[in-house]
Amino acid sequence: MIKFENQENGRFYYLRVQKDMTGDDVLVVVRGGRDISITRTYGFPNSQARDKRIKALMRRRIRNGYSLVT
């Protein structure tokens, strides 16, 4: 699991890779704040596409003021 948090506004962003029922990898993204969280799930045709999406999300979080926790 990769965790990002923004200490200024209390928001968080978690990335986790899991297997779905068919055995394929899916990316689970949980984002939110103190009172609410939203979960999204993304499927990918291959691991390269998944890794590319993870790197893009990490760059965006860092650019938007989040710090890497784990």
Instruction: Determine what percent of the chain is predicted with pLDDT higher than 70.
Output: 99
Q: What is the CATH number of the domain that holds 27?
A: 3.10.450
26-30, 61-65, 66-70: least confident range: 66-70
Prediction pTM value: 0.84
Instruction: Determine what percent of the chain is predicted with pLDDT higher than 90.
Output: 80
Number of independent structural domains in the chain: 1
Residue 34: its pLDDT value, please? Answer: 85
Instruction: Determine the Cα–Cα distance for residues 3 and 8; give it in Å rounded to an integer.
Output: 16
Instruction: Determine the Cα–Cα distance for residues 26 and 62; give it in Å rounded to an integer.
Output: 22
Give the domain extent around 58: 2-68
Structure tokens at 65: 């003021």
